[in-house]
Structure 1
Amino acid sequence: MDAFFQKLDLDGDGPLYLRLKAALAEAIASGRLKPGAALPAERDMAAALGISRVTVRRAIEELTREERIERRQGAGTFVAEPLTRIEQSLSRLTSFSDDMARRGLKPGSRWITRGLFKPSTEEVMALGLSPGARVARLVRVRLADDRAMALERSSLPEDILAAPEIVETSLYDVLADAGVQPARAIERISACCLSEAESLLLGMAIGAPALTVERLAYNGAGRVIEVTRTLYRADVFDMVAEMTF
């Protein structure tokens, strides 16, 4: 393994830790560093490359945050197993929790915001709220087997979701229990790059590609009862639509 690191090409422009990160990422992507392979200790890697431990540590931290490398308590640092790509159907109105459970993954959430708030101008317009109305706002990182998969921001009228704190996993299960679940939805999909704040929440590199899905959900009477904007990791999700002729 020391010989492998001695042959890494760190030439180029930019900070040395980013060049090391790029070289390691390329080695992982090409299969020269295989999933499950143990990496040397930081001091040994630094010695083999002739660079500082601080530089090695910063590169490893970046790759760990992007889930290319994982640290195992008491065991060391290893090349992470690649994430299995997920096909997200655009044909049916389903919840993230149900989608993950059908794939044998454990759904979860890391909550950022959950409560009733004064609505923003955008929420008033999208939800058709009257003056003085409040909005239930849910912001969370969606997890599958404890891995961050998406960043989801949902807004609903207070009369549709009066107690947002009861939502633990599936919002749609809570709405169904209350008899106010959506009947149909319109979704708009676009590509974007993650901001610094978004990348930190998803454990991705700043500017990493993502898929934005903006959803307007309607009840049976045609009223908008949910506005959701979800950022899906582009390295994990494929959006699939079924069409018939």
Structure 2
Amino acid sequence: MSEGLASILPLEGLQSPSSGPLYLKLRQTLEDAIQSGRLGHGAALPAERDLAEYANVSRVTVRKAVDDLVRDGLLTRRQGSGTFVVKPVSRVQQPLSQLTSFTEDMTRRGLATRSEWLERGLFHPSPEEMMMLGLAAGTMVARIGRLRIANDLPLAIERASLSAELLPDPDAVTTSLYAALQKKSARPVRAIQRISACNVKEPEAGLLAVPVGAAGLSIERISYLASGRVVEFTRSLYRGDAYDFVAELTLGD
């Protein structure tokens, strides 16, 4: 255990006679390991007793250093699982004047994207989906739920509902939903979005690798075809520390 920790957490200077509380020195050592990538995003922090033994400090010292990093958002505690690294993310600015997909947004920024499927298939619609999508009785709905990830960091949870008439085979969506709709000449051309601040709860906090109660952005979007038909009803949850939505305003007459 100590040899593995030594490659991740070099402790030169921790026990030196220089001034400063031990917990601050340990905190800085842990932060350096996170910022340098030696402790990568999602990595589990060693148990407090192992850290205390390795660093030759008390568990109280370890707990105080870890508490500081949890408060600063660099570590997150998951009940029953342990403490995990949350590497700081570069904020993404998303203009509100353009209707683009997550894949298109991230690719344009040079970020490698992937998704983890949370839900994909045809279902009987809920009353809300029937109302939002204008579905007739007996119509099936296609649901696409994904955890959206860029450069190995989870950024958003997206759950989209569409008429099965427009997306009869949800499994055909591999990367971009809009690319799949484009093939059927059903890509939306405009949308109305409602954005509100929220605090991330479980289980979404676990999926986004943020502390429970962290700031998030909740977005509801209704997208339309050129004909005016509703094509998509989407609910998304974005990490508040990763996204800025930007709108350009002009002075009216």
TM bin, normalised by shorter chain, reads 0.7 to 0.9
Residues 1:178 and 2:184 are matched in the alignment: yes
C-alpha root-mean-square deviation of aligned residues, in Å? 3.3
Which of 59, 79, 90 is equivalent to 1:51? 59
Distance 1:183-1:209 versus aligned 2 partners, 3 A rule: same
Letter in 2 for 1:130: A
C-alpha distance after superposition, 1:143-189 (max 9, x if no partner)? 11222110000000011111111101110011111101101100010
Which of 151, 172, 175 is equivalent to 1:169? 175
Deviation at 1:50, TM superposition (A): 1.2
**Unaligned regions of 5+ residues in structure 2, if any?**
1-10, 40-44, 77-83
C-alpha distance after superposition, 1:109-149 (max 9, x if no partner)? 10010000011111011111111111000111001122211
Residues in 1 aligned to 2:178 and 2:86: alpha-carbon distance in whole angstroms: 33
Q: Is the 8 A contact 2:154 2:208 kept in 1?
A: yes
C-alpha distance after superposition, 1:4-35 (max 9, x if no partner)? 996227xxxxxxxxxxxxx94xx599x77772
Deviation at 1:96, TM superposition (A): 0.3
Distance 1:139-1:28 versus aligned 2 partners, 3 A rule: farther
Deviation at 1:195, TM superposition (A): 1.4
Letter in 2 for 1:139: G
Distance 1:169-1:67 versus aligned 2 partners, 3 A rule: farther
Please show how residues 27-176 of structure 1 align to structure 2 within 5 Å: 35-36=35-36, 45-47=51-53, 48-51=56-59, 68=75, 82-176=88-182
Q: Is the 8 A contact 1:36 1:79 kept in 2?
A: no
Q: Is the 8 A contact 1:110 1:141 kept in 2?
A: yes
TM-score under structure 1 normalisation?
0.76
TM-score under structure 2 normalisation?
0.74
SS for the counterpart of 2:59 is coil
**Unaligned regions of 5+ residues in structure 1, if any?**
10-22, 70-77
Query: Once superposed, which parts of structure 1, at least 4 consecutive aligned residues long, lie more than 4 Å away?
Result: 31-34, 37-44, 66-69, 78-81
Residues in 2 aligned to 1:37 and 1:219: alpha-carbon distance in whole angstroms: 44
SS for the counterpart of 1:8 is helix
Residues in 2 aligned to 1:151 and 1:188: alpha-carbon distance in whole angstroms: 16
Residues 1:188 and 2:194 are matched in the alignment: yes
SS for the counterpart of 1:133 is coil
SS for the counterpart of 1:35 is helix
Aligned length: 214
Letter in 2 for 1:118: H
Residues in 2 aligned to 1:225 and 1:198: alpha-carbon distance in whole angstroms: 26
Residues 1:225 and 2:231 are matched in the alignment: yes
Larger mean Cα displacement after TM superposition, 84-93 or 34-43: 34-43
Deviation at 1:81, TM superposition (A): 5.6
